[in-house]
Structure 1
Amino acid sequence: MSIAETDQARLHLSVTLRRALCLLSVLLGLGLGGCSSNQSHSSIVSNQSEPAPDELFQTQADRIATISMRNNLNTLYLLMSKLYKRNPREWRKTTAPNRLVAEQRIQWAIEHQQTLPGLGGRRNVVALAYTLSPEYRGDRVGAFIFSLGSMLITAHGGRTRFYMTDTLDPQYIHNAARNMEKASWMLANRKDAQGQPWLLSNEISEHGSNLSYAVQFGKIVARLDLLTDVLDESTRRMGVGYAQSLLFMNFLPVQ
């Protein structure tokens, strides 16, 4: 290769590298620029959305965790809607003009990691225990769902989308699953001084059965347990992958 050809090749390589760096900068600006903020409800509704630029920075486990979080939040919102419909007195304790506005306020508080005035700054499992106690006088449905959403996000490191730079602790995810089971039991069994449920939900009577609330809780628990296994397996496979790279080491061609 002549000197002119060599210079031309170097120039082409330089231009290619600059273009690659520009593309990477654009992707970083579009995708990771929003990593520190919570996703809006509309961004976690469907699997049919076009791939986002930030997905380039997600491993398979990160993507599974993001989808699991989206589906779990949506299931919580479904539970909230069902509970409000069966317990309309609860949303009427708020300043919301109707049930839909009350639901939107709770969703916003969960996804923006805010607090509810009636909980006195309580969040997570502390708020969960308080919402189904005689001491609490406010909107039990909203506070109950908010507490569960807060607990879920806390167990996932305070995030709703996950990337290569994030670390999820499988033990915390496992604990969140067990907390969901306890919350489902509390919802079905906690009663006031007159023996009436704080919130009407599951029902088995001579008129029929309605276990749809327990079913929704079961879906959340199943997703959390699956994610726990995925995270454990991802950690284990890192060690296996390294061992395989040593065992089946292949040299690269040099010509």
Structure 2
Amino acid sequence: MSGAFFMRAWTGAFGMKKYSRWFLALMPFICAGCKPTPPVNGHVVPEAKLSKGQLIQSDPNRMANLEIRNNLDTLYLLMDKLYKRNPSEWKKSGAASREEAEARVRNAVDQHTALPGLTERDTKAMQRALDPNFKGDRVGTLIYGLGDMLITAHGGKRVMYLIDGLDAQRVYNAARNVEIAMWLLAQRKDSAGQPLLLSNALSERDQNLSYERLFGSMIGRTDLVAEFTAEKYRRAVIDYGQSFFGGQFLQFLPVSEVAGAASSL
């Protein structure tokens, strides 16, 4: 008995040495495969810092929160670009500077309250801004309407938690509203035949489609969250079924002597 025991121990030790050499030889390749892709020109994937609120947020919550955060950031960038290209608009708001006009719009959107001096909200504010007869600040009104509409589509919230839910159809409709606003911005003209707001430019001298790209990024994010939300409950049923059947029929079979002996009792 003792001779067989030492023979097995020696064979196991010899085998371990052989596999250890192979493992050490393959280690550089394994580490190379685990090494993250280096950033190009300093472009690194943005990653939100861990906060207390994330502990009570599900994966769908986090996805929706990142979407609305990034969409609002894009919207404010769009506002800044539109104000710079249409400087007469912010002066109509009564603000002392462009920065003050932008701060008013941002505060109204972030607080989900009415914009000072404007009675319309969400889609009605968007319609007002793109009305050829409107004499007020088109840029501020349009950006406010878009932001208020996006937050309204997310249940009136910028941050969602476990107890919150999304209506997939409302989020999908919000993406379509952004598409409509983009098209109207490019097409609507005043009585003199001039664009209501200068944005994209496509000519032999000037080519600038940055406004369209900003609109497109908002549409893409919103559409993705809408589709993900629509599949959430279906995926919950599928995940439950996979765990149930997997737990019942996909059990690993014993391979060791101890487990085999125990299973035969």
TM above 0.5 = yes
Identity of aligned residues (%): 47
The match for 2:97 is: 98
Contact 2:63 / 2:225 at 8 angstroms: preserved in 1?
yes
Contact 1:157 / 1:168 at 8 angstroms: preserved in 2?
yes
Aligned-pair CA distance for 1:231 = 1.3
The match for 2:63 is: 64
Contact 1:118 / 1:138 at 8 angstroms: preserved in 2?
no
The match for 2:139 is: 141
Q: CA separation in 2, counterparts of 1:233 and 1:167?
A: 13
The match for 1:229 is: 227
* Mapping for residues 10-21 of structure 1, pairs under 5 Å: none
The match for 1:155 is: 153
Q: Which runs of 5+ in 2 are unaligned?
A: 1-44, 252-265
Aligned-pair CA distance for 1:135 = 3.2
Distance 1:114 1:78, change over 3 A: same
Q: Which runs of 5+ in 1 are unaligned?
A: 1-45
Q: CA separation in 2, counterparts of 1:82 and 1:212?
A: 9
Contact 2:132 / 2:188 at 8 angstroms: preserved in 1?
no
* Mapping for residues 129-208 of structure 1, pairs under 5 Å: 129-208=127-206
- 1:99-129 deviations in Å (ceiling 9; x for gaps): 111111100000111112443x211111111
Q: CA separation in 1, counterparts of 2:121 and 2:163?
A: 26
SS in 2 for 1:97: coil
Contact 2:104 / 2:115 at 8 angstroms: preserved in 1?
no
Q: CA separation in 2, counterparts of 1:50 and 1:75?
A: 20
Higher mean C-alpha displacement, 232-241 vs 104-113: 232-241
Distance 1:186 1:118, change over 3 A: farther
Tell me, yes or no, if structure 1 residue 74 matches structure 2 residue 69: no
Please give the root-mean-square deviation of Cα atoms over the aligned residues, in Å. 1.6
SS in 2 for 1:248: helix
Contact 1:128 / 1:147 at 8 angstroms: preserved in 2?
yes
SS in 2 for 1:92: helix
Larger radius of gyration: 2
SS in 2 for 1:138: coil
TM-score norm. by structure 2 comes to 0.74
Contact 2:186 / 2:199 at 8 angstroms: preserved in 1?
yes
* Mapping for residues 239-250 of structure 1, pairs under 5 Å: 239-249=237-247
Tell me, yes or no, if structure 1 residue 127 matches structure 2 residue 98: no
Aligned-pair CA distance for 1:47 = 4.7
Size of the aligned set, in residue pairs, is 205
